[in-house]
Homo-oligomer: A and B are copies of this chain.
Amino acid sequence: MQKILGEVLEENRELAKKGRVASYIPALAKANPDHLGICIAEIDGNTYKAGDCDVKFTIQSISKVIALMLALMDNGEKVFEKVGREGTEDPFNTLYKLDLPYIDKPANPMINAGAIATTAQIKGDKAGRILELIRNITGNSSIDYSREVYLSEKETGEKNKAIAHLMKARGILEGDPEEALDHYFKQCSIEVTACDLAKLGAFLANGCKGLPSYGKIDRKTLSRNLLAIMTIGGMYNVSGAYAAEVGVPSKSGVGGGIMAAVSGRMGIGIFSPPLDENGHSVAGYGIMKSLSYRLDLSIF
């Protein structure tokens, strides 16, 4: 396994040159495009690493999976009254459908609108509880959010502000849209490593086993919703192509991370900042293709 990881890493290193580091906020633009790391955490506890596995980066949209987990534990499948579970060809920050009178919720919890509508349904200190849950699952209590990235996102997130206010106007968001957004920006600013992501993936791959309580949902329903929704929407408007090519429930973030869950086997965490036009780590996508092929990971 260790050997395979090293080979896969090198095979895909060049791909990173085809991408561009996210630059919409200064804090992200400072990422080192040469960073490249893979970590695999098997559900029986073994861990394999290659490359820059201990470099911290912001979790960004991968936090949407954890937010969905909490929202489901707090509310059960009632969550889906305010956010759908369907794939979409529209990009991650799409908004227009929410202005059409016959549409009453965002497509899924992986696009920004759906993620904000999901986080808004978490009780109490939404971002704080997301952070806490990530610490618990990874066993890494040193994880924290980056105040610099959080403040940057907050200042510049005009599209997300538009989304939140529109959802408030349409009755999708309850409570203060600015407050939901604040938590959303904070959850995206949590800093993790590839190994932290691998552990999150392993937790999902293991049917979410090990939490003290699952609140208003049973463990199996929770787990299936998370994996199904990652499959239909985790890679936004290329989720279907990714399902055919890789076939592993995954979620990417513009910080350069990818978190993947191979049911019954392992979690995978990848870090490589340069992104393709759809906002996914270019090398990360390539590595997932290689790993799926080499380790026969596809669910299809």
Most central of A89, A107, A161, A245 by chain B CB within 10 Å? A89
Q: Are A166 and B177 in contact (CB under 8 A)?
A: no
- Contact partner of A169 among B86, B158, B239, B244, CB < 8 A? B158
Interface assignment of A232: CB less than 8 Å from any CB of chain B: yes
Interface assignment of A274: CB less than 8 Å from any CB of chain B: no
Q: Are B158 and A168 in contact (CB under 8 A)?
A: yes
- Contact partner of A88 among B87, B164, B168, CB < 8 A? B87
Interface assignment of A34: CB less than 8 Å from any CB of chain B: no
Neighbouring B residues of A164 by C-beta, 8 Å: 162
A166 to B238, CA, bound (A): 24
Segment touching B, from A8-16, A96-104, A130-138 = A96-104
* 0/1 interface trace, chain A 68-109, chain B, CB 8 Å (1 if under): 000000000000100011111100001111011111000110
Interface assignment of A123: CB less than 8 Å from any CB of chain B: no
Neighbouring B residues of A229 by C-beta, 8 Å: 240, 244
* 0/1 interface trace, chain A 261-300, chain B, CB 8 Å (1 if under): 0010000000000000000000000000000000000111
Task: Report A249 CB to chain B, min CB distance, Å.
Answer: 7
Chain A, interface SS category: helix
Taking CB as reference atom, which chain B residue is nearest A225? B244
Interface assignment of A211: CB less than 8 Å from any CB of chain B: no
A88 to B225, CA, bound (A): 18
Neighbouring B residues of A177 by C-beta, 8 Å: 158
Interface assignment of A61: CB less than 8 Å from any CB of chain B: no
Taking CB as reference atom, which chain B residue is nearest A226? B300
Interface assignment of A165: CB less than 8 Å from any CB of chain B: yes
Known: A158-B168, A263-B300. A239 touches B232 (CB 8 A): yes
Known: A224-B244, A224-B298, A298-B224. A86 touches B85 (CB 8 A): no
Interface assignment of A243: CB less than 8 Å from any CB of chain B: yes
A12 to B42, CA, bound (A): 39
Neighbouring B residues of A107 by C-beta, 8 Å: 89
Interface assignment of A228: CB less than 8 Å from any CB of chain B: yes
Q: Are A86 and B224 in contact (CB under 8 A)?
A: no
Task: Report A88 CB to chain B, min CB distance, Å.
Answer: 6
A163 to B169, CA, bound (A): 11
Q: Are A166 and B95 in contact (CB under 8 A)?
A: yes
Contacts A165-B165, A223-B300, A263-B300 known; 10 new A-B pairs at CB < 8 A = A86-B87, A86-B237, A95-B95, A108-B240, A159-B169, A162-B166, A228-B243, A229-B244, A231-B231, A299-B300
Cross-chain pairs A/B with CB under 8 angstroms, 25 sampled: A84-B89, A86-B87, A86-B241, A87-B89, A87-B239, A95-B95, A158-B165, A158-B169, A159-B165, A159-B169, A161-B162, A162-B162, A162-B163, A162-B164, A162-B166, A162-B168, A166-B166, A224-B245, A228-B240, A228-B243, A229-B244, A231-B232, A232-B239, A233-B240, A263-B300
